[in-house]
Amino acid sequence: MAENSHEKTLAALGVTQSEQVAPLFAQLQTQATADLQAAHSADTFEKFRVNWLGRKSGVLTLVGDNWLKLATPELKRAVGQELNKFKAQLEAQMEARRAAIESGAEETVSTKDRVDLSLPGVARPIGSRHLIRQVFQEIEDIFVSIGFSVVQGPEIETPYYNFEALNIPEFHPVRDDMDTFYVEAATESGAKTAPGALLLRTHTSPVQIRTMEKQKPPVRVIVPGKVYRRDNPDATHSFMFHQIEGLAVDADITFCDFTGTIEYFVKQYFGPSVKTRFRPSYFPFTEPSVEFDVSCIFCGGSGCGANGATCGKCKGSQWIELFGAGMVDPAVYGFVNYDAKKLSGFAFGMGMDRLAMLKYGIDDIQAFFQNDARFLRQFP
């Protein structure tokens, strides 16, 4: 069809004989069929409809205006007949097309058309668990094998659980290191919580309290989780890091159970050749409290590095500080309605990041949080 023939009059197209009318409509029909073939979606179908049946400037309207209305009396009959035929045929074609698009058959065909099966596939790399997660899994396996179970608690805590119930009253000096990261949150009614009513927990120890509130002895749990402190970031500090808390409470748990459990864990985790030692320490919620060390994993506890130099990791001290622990202070039982006369137990709190760094020879804690695939890929 001459392009846009419907925009011209028959006279302008040189149509003067009625025999010329049918071929003109045949061209229009060919064009319509081709356009409709190309409509594969509801969208393109709608464009087709507007283009051909649109009331103001659709092809059919213009054919009516330019060809039929302006036809000479001799041609009018032939044009009217052809136009009706064309309209009927177009409607039937469109109906069939609409049904095909709606049933989805059209989409499938067009999608199939687009897929080039000879192209190489897209290989999506499969991720792996973060080293911290893997280390927790190792630690969990060890403790689960000796009867501990895993519990969790909230990262946003109240000062009661983070401090008071752990025998750390307001104004106690040990709060100085931790008294930080208070948060405001909206309550259910939309009001803000009072200043100082909530904070990001500074250790996993509040979950000791939450567990004992919920559960009668015997208790044997470990608690993995994130904790937050006002530490400036450097190779060994981060404002957020991971701890694993441990708590065991029962009738007649002794200091020997405590040391035996911890030594068992450390030897499972680092290997049977490490030596261990306890040093006296202080935590308000344990009594006695200890700091637990292992012989330096890097120099085998000799204090010497390669070629006789001082070991850079333990600085020649032969020992590496691992974590804090102790026998649960009887005062803590008072906060959870446990009978301090009948019960005893121990607790520990280990830095998971630190345990991972020691075992896997990582010298910058920040590597855990930078999401650098080159680092993460080393621990598939």
Q: Give the C-alpha separation, 313 to 235, whole Å.
A: 13
Measured from the CB atom, the residue of 82 and 293 that comes closer to ligand PHE is 293
Q: Report the residue from 36, 296, 347, 367 that binds ligand PHE according to the rule CB under 6 A.
A: 347
Residue 162, CA atoms < 13 Å, CB-side half-sphere = 26
Q: Does 286 bind ligand PHE (CB under 6 A)?
A: yes
Q: How far is the CB of 343 from ligand PHE (least distance, A)?
A: 16
Closest CA to 206 of 164, 250, 253: 164
Are 244 and 349 within 8 A, CB to CB?
yes
Buried b / exposed e across 67-104, counting CB within 10 Å, b at 16+?
Answer: beeebeeebbebbeebbeebeeebeeebeebbebbeee
Q: Mask: binding to ligand PHE, 207-246, rule CB under 6 A, as x and -? A: --------------------------------------x-
What's the chain's length in residues? 380
Measured from the CB atom, the residue of 106 and 245 that comes closer to ligand PHE is 245
Residue numbers 6-45 binding ligand PHE by CB under 6 A: none
Are 9 and 66 within 8 A, CB to CB?
yes
Are 207 and 244 within 8 A, CB to CB?
no
Are 28 and 79 within 8 A, CB to CB?
no
Measured from the CB atom, the residue of 286 and 318 that comes closer to ligand PHE is 286
Question: Does 218 sit behind a cis peptide bond, omega within 30 degrees of 0 on the bond before it?
Answer: yes
Q: How far is the CB of 179 from ligand PHE (least distance, A)?
A: 14
- Using CB under 6 A, which of the segments 4-12, 23-31, 44-52, 320-328 binds ligand PHE? 320-328
Q: Report the residue from 349, 355, 362, 368 that binds ligand PHE according to the rule CB under 6 A.
A: 349
Q: Does 324 bind ligand PHE (CB under 6 A)?
A: yes
Q: Report the residue from 159, 224, 326, 345 that binds ligand PHE according to the rule CB under 6 A.
A: 326
- Using CB under 6 A, which of the segments 102-110, 249-257, 344-352, 371-379 binds ligand PHE? 344-352
Helix axes 255-270, 131-145, angle to 10 degrees: 130
Measured from the CB atom, the residue of 40 and 203 that comes closer to ligand PHE is 203
CA dihedral 98, 99, 100, 102 (to 10 degrees): 80
- Dmax over CA atoms of the chain, in Å, equals 119
Measured from the CB atom, the residue of 71 and 207 that comes closer to ligand PHE is 207
Q: Report the residue from 71, 348, 352, 362 that binds ligand PHE according to the rule CB under 6 A.
A: 348
Q: Which helix (H) or strand (E) holds 263?
A: helix 255-270
Q: How far is the CB of 227 from ligand PHE (least distance, A)?
A: 7
Q: Give the C-alpha separation, 338 to 333, whole Å.
A: 5
Q: Report the residue from 205, 211, 238, 318 that binds ligand PHE according to the rule CB under 6 A.
A: 205
Q: Does 284 bind ligand PHE (CB under 6 A)?
A: no
Q: Mask: binding to ligand PHE, 45-84, rule CB under 6 A, as x and -? A: ----------------------------------------
Q: How far is the CB of 166 from ligand PHE (least distance, A)?
A: 8
Q: Give the C-alpha separation, 289 to 346, whole Å.
A: 10
- SS3 at position 18: helix
Measured from the CB atom, the residue of 39 and 227 that comes closer to ligand PHE is 227
Q: Give the C-alpha separation, 304 to 270, whole Å.
A: 19
Measured from the CB atom, the residue of 65 and 321 that comes closer to ligand PHE is 321
Q: Mask: binding to ligand PHE, 87-126, rule CB under 6 A, as x and -? A: ----------------------------------------
Q: Which residues bind ligand PHE (CB under 6 A)?
A: 203, 205, 245, 283, 286, 324-326, 347-349
